[in-house]
Structure 1
Amino acid sequence: MQTLRLTAEEEGMLGGQDGDGVALAMRVIVSLARIADAPRLVEITSAHVDSCLYHGQVSLDFAHRLVDLGAKVRVPTTLNVGSTDLIHPELVRDPDLAASGRELMSAYVALGCTPTFTCAPYQLPDRPGLGEHVAWAESNAIVFANSVLGARTDRYGDFLDICAAITGRAPYSGLQTTEARLGTVTFDCRPLGDRFLGSELAYPLLGHHVGSVVGGEIPLLVGIPASAGEDELKAFGAAAASAGGVALFHAVGVTPEAPTLEEAMELPVREVELDTMRETRRALSTFSSGELDAVSVGTPHASYAECARLAELLTDGPPLKIAFYLSTGRATRALAEESGVLRTLEAAGVTVVVDTCTYVTAILSPAWKNVMTNSGKWAHYAPGNINVSAVLGSLEECVASARAGRVILEDA
C-alpha cells in the first residue's frame, strides 16, 4: 500500500483551518484516497453532484450537516436532477417526495452549487476540456466527460461528489490516472454497415450491448462514423453505463483519446452483428406491440437539437392520442422557449419536464403500464423503478406511435 501524501494546504483543510465543514469533507476524500491506494490528491476544476437526488432521510441529514458546518463549494459545481420539477411542481404525484426533494435541492444550492438540475451538464457552457481533472457523478455524465470531452473523472457516488466540490480535491486514482484510461477490449462495429450506424437507434442498442458484455472494462469501438455527434455518443454512453459499469469508452477517429485502428485491433476483438442488435432491442423492450399509455423521451436530458427535432416531427400531422413527456434541463428549456420550439411542443400536447426525470420520480400515472421511449437508459431502468413495461423506438417511431395510440415500429 502506498503512503498518501498531502500538501500543506490539504493538511490544513483536514486539520480544520478552513472550518469544520471543509474538514469533514476532507476526511471523506482522504478516506476514499486511502481505500483506493492513491499516492496523492489531485486538484479538480469542477464538480457535478448527484447527491441532490433524494434517496431517504440520510440524503437530507448529510446535506444539512454540511450546511450547518458552514461548508461551501470551492470549484464550479453543477447539480444533477432532483426528485421534483421546481418549475412545474404540479407534475409530481407524490407530495411527500416532492417536499423532501425540494428541501434537498435547496440545501445543495445553499452549499454554493449552481441550480442546473440536469443529468447532462456537458450541454452547459464552460464544460471541461481534454485532460482536465474533475469530479463528476451520475453515470452518463461520467462516461461523457471521460470519453467525449477527454476530461478525467472517476466514478463518484453520493456524498463523495459534494465532498470533492467542497475541498476542490479528488484522489489521484482510477480514471484520473493515465494508465487506467487505456482500452481493454475492441468492438468491431463495421459489420453493422453504414445504414444502421447512421440510424438513431444504433447508439442506445450498441451501448446496451457493449455495457452488458464488458461490465466495468473500457471498450474501444471501431467503425463508428466520424459524423456521429454528441447526441449519438450521449445515447451510447448512457446505455453502456446503465447496462454495465462503463465509465469510459474510445471510438477510433471520433473520441479524443482513441488509439489508432492498428492499435485497437491488437486488443481482444468482438465483432458486432445486426442480429445481435435485433436481439438487444428485443431484450430492452418488455413488450413490443399493442396499445400504448404514454411516451417518454429525453433520458439523459434532451439537447436543444433533440427538442427542435421533436418539434419538427410534430409540426404537421395528426394529433397525439396519448400522453407524451419530454425531459430536459432548465437551460435547454429556456433556449427552446426563446426560439419558439417550446411553444410548438406544448401546442402539440407535449409535457416538458425539467429538474428531474420521469423514471426517477412519480410523474407518470400509476395506472399506465405500457410506455414507449427512445432511450436505452430509460428502457433499462423504468420497469424496475416505476413498474411499467417499456418498448424502445426511434424518436420518429415514438411520435408515430403516440399519434396512433399503439406501438408502431418500422421493422415490425
Structure 2
Amino acid sequence: MMLELSADDQSMLQGEHGPAAAAAMKILVAFSNAVGAPKLLDISGAHIDGCLYHGKAGLDFVERLVEGNGRVLVPTTLNVGSFDLIHPGMVKMPAAQEAPARRLMKAHLELGCQATFTCAPYQTRFRPGFGEQIAWGESNAIVFANSVIGARTNRYGDFIDLCCAMTGRAPSWGLHLSENRRGQILFELTGAFEPSDALFVGVGLIIGRASGDRIPVISGLPQPRDEDQLKALGAAAATTGAVALFHAVSITPEANTIDEAFHGMAPDETIRITRADIDHALAKLSSVPDGAPLAAVSLGTPHFSHEEWMRLLPLLRELAPSRGIPIYVNTGRATLTRLQDEGALAGMEAFGLIPVADTCTYVTAIIERLDGVVMTNSGKWAHYAPGNIGVSVAFADIRDCIRSAAVGHVLRSVS
C-alpha cells in the first residue's frame, strides 16, 4: 500500500519548509510505510520522550534539527530530562555527562518545545481533550491520555514523536482509529475491594503482565477517588507490559458499559482477579521485610499532582518525620511553582521533604544513600529502581511511607 501524502506533506518532504522539516517528514514517511499506514493525519499536540540523555546519538539527532532551523508545528511538551535544572546542586553527575544532559534539554527548547520537563503532561495547561489526535511519548502519559482522557495516540518512541511534532502529522494507524480501540481481553475483579491506592497499582501490574499486545477491559473496579489512582494503574500496566489503552467499565470515557468497551463483540479471553492475586502482585514489588532500616522515601513516579501534594503535606505535619530520612517527591515544575506561589511548602524541609523537578530519582543520581532501603508508593518506581540505581525497595501506600520515615525502618499496615 502506498502512503498517501497531502500537498503540504509533499512540500515539506521536498525541502520547501527547510532541511529540518524535510528530515522529519522523511523519517515519518518511512515509519508510516513500515507500519502500513495509508495516510497521515493532523495532530493537535505532542509530548517528547527524548530529553533523557542516553548518549551522543540522541543529542546529535536533535542538534541536527536545530542546525536545520527546525521548529515544532504544534504545542509540544517535554518529558523528564537527566538533570534537575531547578535544583542543580542535588544532582551527582560528572561534568562530562552533565554538559550534554543539559544541552539536550536546551536543544529541545530551541526547537520551540515547552519547558515542562514532566512525565505527566496531562497535569499541565497542555492537557488534550477527548478525541484529540496527539503524538505522545512516555508510557504512562500515553496510557493516561488514551484511557483516562480519551485522546488518541500510539506508543511513540524517541525521534518519531519529535518528527510528528515538527510536521504536525502522525500516521493514520493503530489507536488513532476508532476500530482499533476495541477491548480484547476482560479482567473481572471478584470480591469486594476498597478503592485504595495499592489496589489500582496491583490491578495495573496484573493486566500489564497478562495483556500482551491486547487492549484490556476491567470490570468490577471500584470508582476511583480521583484520576491519580487511574494514573497509578496505567503507569503500572505500561511498566509490566505494553498497555497503551485500558478500559475500566463505568469509569473511563469509552467504556460506559462492557458492550461499549468491546464494541459489541465478545472478549478473546476472561481473567478473574482476586484479592490474593493483588496481594501477590504487590508483594513482588518489595525486596525487603518490615523492620528493614530505611534510607529514603521516593514518591511521585509518575510526577506528583497538586492533589497528591495536598494529601501528603498534612501527613507530614501529622506524623512529623524528623529522623533525617529524606522524602524525595518527584513533581512537574508547573506543579512546584503553583505550590510555592501558594506558600504550601513553607517549613516542610523540617520533615525531610526534598522536592525534585525536571527529572526522577530512578533515572538521575539524586538519592544520597543507596545502601539502605528506599520506600515508594509507585509501582513504576519499585519496578525500575532496583535495576536502574541498584537500590532495595519496599512498596507501600503514602501514609506507611511517611510513618516509616518517622520511625526509621520499614513499617507497613496489615491490609
> TM over 0.5, yes or no?
yes
Aligned match of 2:66 = 67
Aligned match of 1:56 = 55
Matched position secondary structure for 1:271: strand
Aligned match of 2:197 = 200
Determine if the alignment matches structure 1 residue 243 to structure 2 residue 240. yes
Aligned match of 2:180 = 180
Aligned match of 2:143 = 143
Cα distance between partner residues in 1 of 2:342 and 2:350: 14
User: Once the 2 structures are TM-superposed, how far is the Cα of residue 165 of structure 1 from its aligned partner?
Assistant: 0.5
Aligned match of 1:120 = 120
Aligned match of 1:381 = 384
CA contact (8 A) 1:311 1:344 kept: no
Aligned match of 2:33 = 34
- Aligned match for 1:311, one of 310, 313, 326: 313
Matched position secondary structure for 1:201: helix
Aligned ranges 1:155-304 → 2 under 5 Å: 155-189=155-189, 191-195=190-194, 198-258=195-255, 260-262=257-259, 266-267=266-267, 268-289=269-290, 290-304=292-306
- Tell me the alpha carbon deviations over residues 75-100 of structure 1, each in whole angstroms, 9 at most, x when there is no partner: 00000000000010011111333322
Q: Unpaired runs of 5+ in structure 1?
A: none
User: Once the 2 structures are TM-superposed, how far is the Cα of residue 192 of structure 1 from its aligned partner?
Assistant: 4.2
User: Once the 2 structures are TM-superposed, how far is the Cα of residue 262 of structure 1 from its aligned partner?
Assistant: 4.8
Partner amino acid, structure 1, of 2:352: G
- Identical amino acids, percent of aligned pairs: 49
User: Once the 2 structures are TM-superposed, how far is the Cα of residue 264 of structure 1 from its aligned partner?
Assistant: 5.8
CA contact (8 A) 1:346 1:352 kept: no
Matched position secondary structure for 2:197: coil
TM-score (norm 1): 0.96
- Aligned match for 1:350, one of 350, 353, 356: 353
Cα distance between partner residues in 1 of 2:346 and 2:223: 34
Cα distance between partner residues in 2 of 1:226 and 1:344: 35
Cα distance between partner residues in 2 of 1:318 and 1:79: 35
> What is the aligned length?
408
Aligned match of 1:398 = 401
Cα distance between partner residues in 2 of 1:4 and 1:76: 26
CA contact (8 A) 1:310 1:345 kept: no
User: Once the 2 structures are TM-superposed, how far is the Cα of residue 366 of structure 1 from its aligned partner?
Assistant: 5.4
- Tell me the alpha carbon deviations over residues 150-182 of structure 1, each in whole angstroms, 9 at most, x when there is no partner: 111001111111111000011111111112111
Give the direction of change, closer, same or farther, for the CA distance of 1:60–1:210 in structure 2 (3 Å limit): same
Give the direction of change, closer, same or farther, for the CA distance of 1:326–1:101 in structure 2 (3 Å limit): same
Cα distance between partner residues in 1 of 2:75 and 2:411: 44
Matched position secondary structure for 1:371: strand
Partner amino acid, structure 2, of 1:164: C
Cα distance between partner residues in 2 of 1:342 and 1:318: 14
Partner amino acid, structure 1, of 2:221: I
Cα distance between partner residues in 2 of 1:91 and 1:140: 25
Partner amino acid, structure 2, of 1:104: L
User: Once the 2 structures are TM-superposed, how far is the Cα of residue 17 of structure 1 from its aligned partner?
Assistant: 0.6
CA contact (8 A) 1:315 1:344 kept: no
CA contact (8 A) 1:186 1:264 kept: no
Moved over 4 A (4+): 262-265
User: Once the 2 structures are TM-superposed, how far is the Cα of residue 263 of structure 1 from its aligned partner?
Assistant: 5.8
Q: Unpaired runs of 5+ in structure 2?
A: none
Cα distance between partner residues in 2 of 1:357 and 1:212: 24
Matched position secondary structure for 1:145: helix
Aligned match of 1:411 = 414
Cα distance between partner residues in 2 of 1:34 and 1:69: 25
Matched position secondary structure for 1:30: helix
Cα distance between partner residues in 2 of 1:269 and 1:224: 15
> After the TM superposition, which of the residue ranges 256-265 and 121-130 deviates more from structure 2?
256-265
Matched position secondary structure for 1:343: coil
- Tell me the alpha carbon deviations over residues 70-121 of structure 1, each in whole angstroms, 9 at most, x when there is no partner: 0000000000000000010011111333322111000000000000000000
Give the direction of change, closer, same or farther, for the CA distance of 1:340–1:273 in structure 2 (3 Å limit): same
Give the direction of change, closer, same or farther, for the CA distance of 1:41–1:323 in structure 2 (3 Å limit): same
CA contact (8 A) 1:92 1:98 kept: no
User: Once the 2 structures are TM-superposed, how far is the Cα of residue 242 of structure 1 from its aligned partner?
Assistant: 0.3
Q: CA RMSD in A?
A: 1.4
TM-score (norm 2): 0.95
